[in-house]
Every structure is written in structure tokens, then in C-alpha cells.
Amino acid sequence: MGVKKAKKKCCKDKPRCKTCPVVLKRLSDAGFATRIDLRTYDFDGKPPKKAVAEARSR
């Protein structure tokens, strides 16, 4: 999947958007991404749909 950059601020949508900083942080904590710097994350592969759905939930 490569490198993904988070948005500056969460837009408070339901469910959260895929580039929300909270979603990327949750995926990083779950082990599907590694944090490069403050807003940039590196993905080894595509995370499972279930993990993404869980990270996007409110």
C-alpha cells in the first residue's frame, strides 16, 4: 500500500474517513502500519477490511 499521510484535523464524520489521524494511529497500534513521523505512516501491505472498519468506528 505504501506511505499514507494523515489529514491535519479530524472532521468528526461517522464513520471516520480513511485518512483521519485517529484511524491511522489505531492501525499503527494494531501493527498494520509503522509511523514514520508525526503525520506519515508506512504500510507493508493492505490491512484487512475488518481492521480498517474497526479503526474507523466511533
Tens digits of per-residue pLDDT, 1-57? 789 999 999 888 999 999 999 999 999 999 999 999 999 999 999 999 999 999 999
Residue 52 has a pLDDT of 96
Q: Is the dihedral of CA 42, 47, 49, 54 positive or negative?
A: negative
Rg from Cα positions in the chain: 10
Measure the CA–CA gap between 38 and 11, rounded to whole angstroms: 18
Indicate yes or no: pTM above 0.85: yes
- Per DSSP, the three-state class of 2 is strand
| The pLDDT value given to residue 38 | 93
